[in-house]
Amino acid sequence: MYQIFILLIFYFIILYSIIGYGRIYTLINFKYQASPFDGLFGIAILILISYTTNIFFSHNYLHNLLIIGFGFIIFIFDFNKHFKKRILEYRNLSIIFLIIFIGLLMYKNHDDFYYYHFPYTIILTNFEKVFGLGNLNHGFRTPSSIFYLNSLFYLPLIKYFLLNSGAAYIMGFSNFILFEKIKSSLKKKEYDHILFLSLASLIYINSSFSRLAEHGTDRSALILIFLMSLYYLESLKFKNINLNMQHFRNYFSKLAVLFAIIVSLKAFYLIYSVIFLLWFYQIREYLNFRQLSNLIFKSYSSYLFISIFLFTIFTIFSNTGCFIYPASFTCVENLNWSIPLQQIDQMHLWYEQWSKAGAGPNFRVENPEIYINNFNWVDNWIKNYFFTKVSDNLLVIIFISLAFIFLFSFNLNTKNNTKPNYKLFYSSIILLLLEWFYNHPALRYGGYTLLALTFFIPISIYISKFKFIPKIINKKIYLILILATIIFMTKNFIRINKEINQYSYNPFKSAFFYLNKDGFILKDKVKNKYENWNFQNKRYLIITN
């Protein structure tokens, strides 16, 4: 019982510290003090702090106590100053995170956690900047900001056992934003496509991404892409209103920070820059060139985005010698920590082969170069991947879509004639879906979100055409919110029960996840190199290939 109590206490201290940083950013950037987005602003600020400080310091107890403690103090000060305004908001937020906490009660993390997530984070807690980490582990060649975020949660008493919690905070804040967006729409009686898309996204996220151990570096980014899509569409729904700079500045700040976090989680998601660029194209009819320039160059969010983006690229480069790994044309091969180009090309082939169901833990296809070209891989992909993971995911999406049509489609003769501005955005989603299928058709590489949005956007727009009786629709929507909560909790209780039977896991006696010595082997290798490094001639440790 002691462990679960310690886990819970530190979990909420970190939560409120993140919000504290978000409050600072919101106050400086927008001159107001409350936003459901504060949590994700805080995540972005902490990612930037983690990237920056690791150049000079290891993320040890002292470093992390100062960082987390400062955010927590800001939170307490803000809470006391605005108690009446904050109490209801924090009640809802705390309930959501208490529910999410169930997902952190686990015995076993994902295999990738033990392979490279945890070892990478441990290295951050023990050493300042190290060059050439990609030479120690293939996983270190594709670093993620979630490792840097998690490294700040290495604290006394709790030690290593919240180093997997970054995904929980991203999922929790995303749920809170969606919940507040739905609640605001119901209060204003705005039964539009944003409301129904928010609702569909929320229930999909909590049913499909319920197991936090499986989030890795991908699902957190996919969740944020749902939010990015919602803010994009919402920013353009006010077509008949005289829009001002503040309107677009608010949405730009959110879109920029979301995109910064998404790319930092996995640089592969740079491909979604097409959505960000398309947004600028669509708002050009509302703003002139000077206003667009001011929007970009006179916004703190631009600087935050650029800083996180540059640190992401710098981290990949310092680990591998490549600016984007495994794109060999971006690599500098004559650095003493550079990954050999032959290995980079082999890994590029491997990633594509794996995503097209041409490889797994126990098998490999012959002639992978031939297999991945054209559509030679399709038959095998359909047999071994589509009719397992993709079909299951499509069933969830189709079930949610049909349930929404059944619950909300009525009164056809009293249509709402509003026409959402969505066609360009939806076209980009279809193009990204086609690109996903042709190049990397694994759900974790964007398929979850792209498939869901392909269904949810047109269905949300279709449903929004109907007129609704507020009392009836409010009951249905709150019923769906309760159902989403039940699904998340039930799936996690079933998982915990399975771990109890399989591993004798008892969260009330030993709540911490299983941790073997393998996670520290790479840390010890770095330590040996660190102790023998000649710091008189060179400032930072370099691990050569």
Amino acid at 421: N
- pLDDT given at position 209: 95
Asked whether the predicted pLDDT for residue 17 surpasses 90, the reply is yes
Phi, psi of 367 (to 5 degrees): 50, 65
Confidence at 243, pLDDT banded by 50, 70, 90: low
Separation CA 243–CA 444 (nearest Å) = 37
Instruction: Please tell me the predicted confidence (pLDDT) of residue 262.
Output: 96
Give the H/E segment covering residue 438: helix 423-439
Q: What is the pLDDT of residues 245-298, one digit of tens each?
A: 777 888 999 999 999 999 999 998 999 999 888 998 888 877 877 888 888 888
pLDDT digits (tens, 9 = 90+) for 41-73: 999 999 999 999 999 999 999 999 999 999 999
The band of 38, judged by pLDDT with boundaries at 50, 70 and 90, is: very high
Distance CA(180)–CA(173), nearest Å, equals: 10
pTM of the model: 0.95
When pLDDT is cut at 50, 70 and 90, the band that residue 31 belongs to is low
Whether the pLDDT of residue 33 is over 70: the answer is: no
Whole-number Å distance between alpha carbons of 60 and 317: 24
The whole-number pLDDT of residue 237 equals 81
Q: Strands of 351-459 (E only): list them.
A: 359-360, 363-364
What is the model's pLDDT at position 420?
A: 79
Q: What pLDDT does residue 475 have?
A: 92
Please give the pLDDT value at position 257.
Answer: 95
Q: Are 283 and 290 contacting, i.e. CB atoms less than 8 angstroms apart?
A: no
What secondary structure does DSSP assign to 239-265, as a single string? Answer: TTS---HHHHHHHHHHHHHHHHHHHHH
pLDDT tens for each residue of 399-425: 999 999 999 876 554 555 567 788 999
pLDDT band at 468 (very low <50, low <70, confident <90, very high): confident
Residue 1: what pLDDT?
Answer: 77
Contacts with 51 (C-beta within 8 Å, 6 or more apart), sequence order: 145, 148, 308, 311, 312, 315
Structure tokens at 430: 């279809």
Residue 529's pLDDT is 86
C-alpha span between 215 and 168 (Å, rounded):
9
Task: Give the least confident one: 29-33, 148-152, 305-309.
Answer: 29-33
Question: Any idea where the domains of the chain sit in the sequence?
Answer: 2-322+471-542, 342-469
- Average pLDDT for 455-482: 91
Chain centroid to CA 455: how far? 21
Tell me the per-residue pLDDT of 196-221, one tens digit each, with 9 for 90 and over: 999 999 999 999 999 999 998 899 99
Q: Is 246 exposed, middle or buried (0-12, 13-18, 19+ CB in 10 A)?
A: exposed
For CA atoms 105, 524, 317, 330, the dihedral sign is negative
Q: Are 341 and 328 in contact (CB under 8 A)?
A: yes
pLDDT, position 78: 84
Mean pLDDT of 4-23: 95
Chain segment 110-146, per-residue pLDDT in tens:
888 999 999 999 999 999 999 999 999 999 999 999 9
The predicted structure's pLDDT at residue 81:
74
Check pLDDT > 80 for residue 492: yes
pLDDT(450) > 70: yes
Q: Say if residues 538 and 29 touch (Cβ distance below 8 Å).
A: no
Run of H or E residues at 301: helix 300-320
Nearest CA to 150 out of 215, 100, 223, 227 is that of 215
Radius of gyration of the chain (CA): 23
pLDDT of 109 strictly over 80: yes
Segments in 117-270 forming alpha helices (H): 118-126, 145-151, 166-188, 193-208, 219-235, 245-265
| pLDDT tens-digit map of 352-397 | 999 998 887 777 888 888 999 888 999 999 999 999 899 999 999 9
